[in-house]
Structure 1
Amino acid sequence: MKKIIMIAAAGEDNSLGKDNDLLWHLPDDFKRFKRLTSGHKIIMGRKTFESFPKPLPNRTHIIITRDENYTTNYDHCIVVHSIEDALNLISNEEAYIIGGGEIYKQGEEYSDFIELTRVHGQFEADTYFPEIDEDIWEVIEKEYHPKDEKHKFDFTYVTYERRP
């Protein structure tokens, strides 16, 4: 069965990033992202893809861009020109929408779950996660993590499922 999951880390004000970079460094969140997305297709916008030093290992990257001439020489990377084209490449499998802000907005209506790391703080950002409508999304799991020597901010993993 096809299962589309949006995965993101966002501040309490839904901030995602600034200047195509993350606003925090949360090693445990990186590990969780890797564990959840490894072995799956990940859907992202071109700017998100270009923010990586190289493609993430053990994942097929589906890159959405309006640029009809955009190409990449990396293996396991597919370029498409709309969220619908990206989703047409997903069959009976899990796939993750990993950003950025515009791709989350476009992908939300097609998503079944949201894996959100809610970073407890307000941040200066230029990219935001869409507002989560509690009439559409139900929290099914929460796991709080206090700040520590490796994590400058408290954060909570929140799993949402689309209401029937």
Structure 2
Amino acid sequence: MKEVIAITAMDENNAIGKDNKLLCTLKDDMEYFRSVTEGHIVVMGRNTYRSIGRPLPNRINIILTKDKNFPIPKCLGCRVMHSVSEVLSFHSNLNNDKDMFIIGGEQVYESFLPYCNKLIVSHILASFDDVDAHFPEVDWTKWEPIGHPLGEEGWVSADDRNEYAFSTVIYRKTV
């Protein structure tokens, strides 16, 4: 079954970034992100795409923008779309079982959260003050944790690869 999955790293206050950059460096989280999204579809806003600076390899990259003149990147599998319904229609009409990962930013998460049947959240054990982007409020009573793919007992410690301790949790929508 094709799934729509939001994937993010957020602090204790749902902050996800500042100036189109991630809050911190979590190399183990980035490696997990790559391994789980490769071969699938990633959906991002225009600012997220620009902050990454290139299409993500081995994925279908969808850039969601209201700008009808946004240039289509010259890469295999890159698409520019202009509405949530266009993206959802594209995903449902694909003749394969590729999952669709929503990777940000804030407005894109907000737009797709009602359509997600899974969340993958790396909960950063920290609170950042200087932020300008947040993951939308989630009614956690409608989601159940179904796995902790990283770390011992679900936690990854801060070390030379990860600036902060974090726990990655996979949630499935229950209603």
TM-score, length of structure 1 as denominator length: 0.95
Decide whether the 8 Å contact of 1:55 with 1:74 is kept in 2: no
In structure 1, the residue matched to 2:68 is 68
Q: Partners of 2:73 and 2:163 in 1: how far apart?
A: 37
In structure 1, the residue matched to 2:151 is none
Give 1:139's match in structure 2, choosing from 133, 140, 145: 145
In structure 1, the residue matched to 2:122 is 117
Matched, 1:88 2:99: no
Structure 2 residue runs of 5 or longer lacking an equivalent are 149-153
Structure 2 counterpart SS, 1:70: coil
**4+ residue runs of structure 1 moved beyond 3 angstroms?**
none
Could you tell me how far 1:138 is from its partner in structure 2?
1.3
Structure 1 residue runs of 5 or longer lacking an equivalent are none
Could you tell me how far 1:53 is from its partner in structure 2?
2.3
Decide whether the 8 Å contact of 1:138 with 1:160 is kept in 2: yes
RMSD: 1.1
For 1:7-156, list aligned pairs within 5 A.
7-75=7-75, 76-91=77-92, 92-123=97-128, 124-142=130-148, 143-156=154-167
Report how many aligned residue pairs link the two structures: 164
| Structure with greater helix percent | 2
| Structure with greater strand percent | 1
Q: Percent identity?
A: 37
TM-score, length of structure 2 as denominator length: 0.90
Decide whether the 8 Å contact of 1:66 with 1:81 is kept in 2: yes
Deviations 1:94-143 (Å, cap 9, x if unpaired)? 11000001110110110010000011101121000012212221122232
Q: Partners of 1:15 and 1:73 in 2: how far apart?
A: 29
Decide whether the 8 Å contact of 2:43 with 2:61 is kept in 1: yes
Structure 1 counterpart SS, 2:107: helix
